[in-house]
Amino acid sequence: MNITKEQVDDLNAIVKVAITKDDYQENVEKILKDYRKQANIPGFRKGQVPIGLIKKQYGKAVLVDEVNKLLQDNLNKYLTEEKLDVLGNPLPKQQDNFDWDKEEFDFEFELGLAPSFEVSLQTKKPITSYKIVADQKMIDEQVERIQKQYGKLVSKKEVSKVDEISGLFKNEAEEIENRFVIELDKVKSKKATDALVGKKVGDVVTLSTKGLFKEDHLLTHALGVSAEKGEGLNIDVEFEIQEINEREPANLDQELFDKLFGKDTVKSEEELKAKIKEDSEKQFEQQADQKLLNDITEYFIENTKFDLPVEFLTKWIKMTGENPLTEDEASEEFQKSEKGLRYQLIEGKIIQENEIQVQFEELKEFAKGFIKSQMAQYGQLNPEEAELDSIAARVMGNQDEVKRLSEQLMSQKLLTLYKEKVNLKTKELTYDKFVSEVYGS
């Protein structure tokens, strides 16, 4: 077998593979002999079928199969040994009047080659790195939410503006009948609030669904309908009051602090607020980091210039897609995926040049950290190391989970590199201002 490469240009090449009879004959003969031993053909005893008949029935199929195996194995080996960085997979060139009756075969494959380019981590313009802080207003609101969440319900006879009203929503025409607790501080409609205040258990109030709650999703929960049905719903519903309660705020005492954070972790209201600030800013840091990673990614894509073998990649998409594509459809698919492909190449080069690797042991520790944070959300603050190891072992046995965690850890390593090398400017602001500046709302 002889394999040669013809360089078309910097981004395209043709690989030619010449296969002779000596390359495949021994394997083909062996397989046909095995067929003969197992063949059941009427008129012949098992194992006594003439080899000529076996060749006539199975010879060409076995030949084609063996030649294709030779092609696949040796082409992949050649690409590895020659260190050819290809995009997509080699595409076989169509050959008219190909003759499988010959003893020697010539094949050609088109290659799309990865471009050569440089990536500079020293950006010309500084990229904004946000530091989001929890201001006093946010901390105070969080303290109020905690007191409300852990407070106790006090039964009342008449609705006031601070109450929670349990009741039944009804509308026969729309087949609505659903129990729900209305928190009056979450009601947007002044007309609805006025209609409810002063009412007693057993009273029935007619409410309009349009603009009823401050948050749209509450309407779908209140009525027990789908999000699609609840969106823009403008009907009247009856609300039968079944229970009226006022939530008395919990005291900011040691019992509450221990319930929230574990025994003696927090010992005063000042420490509670400091803890809320610390935990909030830790969560904000994740959002700020993701924003920074996105911005740096966009910068590299926009400022790292290189060409791609567009014609080859379009053809590759057309030929390897799940469904047949026209030339225009393949071109459109390439345009959709081009940005992701460019960053994939850029990221790969950054990882290679900076020798970034994900080792098994550090991936396992990363998995344990992830598991620990998940358990903390359900109140398990100090899990045993043996329990963490056991869960991590199960996670590491799932290839999809390993792939997902590896990607997360690699992103974390890249972010650490970017923070060290990229030209950044820090901007400190509150969460509300961050949301307004970044998302425009």
3-state secondary structure labels for all residues of the chain = CEEEEEEEECCEEEEEEEECHHHHHHHHHHHHHHHHHHCCCCCCCCCCCCHHHHHHHHHHHHHHHHHHHHHHHHHHHHHHHCCCCEEEEEEECCCCCCCCCCCCEEEEEEEEECCCCCCCCCCCCCEEEEEEECCHHHHHHHHHHHHHHCCEEEECCECCCCEEEEEEEEECCCCEEEEEEEEHHHECCHHHHHHHCCCECCCEEEEECCCCECCCHHHHHHHCCCHHHHCCCCCEEEEEEEEEEEEECCCCCHHHHHHHHCCCCCCCHHHHHHHHHHHHHHHHHHHHHHHHHHHHHHHHHHHCCCCCCHHHHHHHHHHHCCCCCCHHHHHHHHHHHHHHHHHHHHHHHHHHHCCCCCCHHHHHHHHHHHHHHHHHHCCCCCCCHHHHHHHHHHHHCCHHHHHHHHHHHHHHHHHHHHHHHCCEEEEEEEHHHHHHHHHCC
Higher pLDDT, 39 or 380: 39
Average pLDDT over residues 327-337: 93
* 112-161 per-position pLDDT tens digit: 999 999 999 988 889 999 999 999 999 999 999 999 889 999 999 999 99
Average pLDDT over residues 172-195: 93
Average pLDDT over residues 9-14: 96
Tokens encoding 82: 């020659």
As a whole-number percent, the residues of the chain with pLDDT over 70 amount to: 99
pLDDT of the residue at 122:
87
pLDDT of the residue at 170:
96
* 227-286 per-position pLDDT tens digit: 888 888 899 999 999 999 998 999 999 999 998 888 888 999 999 999 999 999 998 999
pLDDT at 440 exceeding the cut of 80: no
Tokens encoding 144: 């109020």
Tokens 């002999």 sit at which residue? 33
pLDDT of the residue at 441:
59
pLDDT of the residue at 296:
95
Average pLDDT over residues 184-211: 94
Indicate the pLDDT class of residue 381, thresholds 50, 70 and 90: low
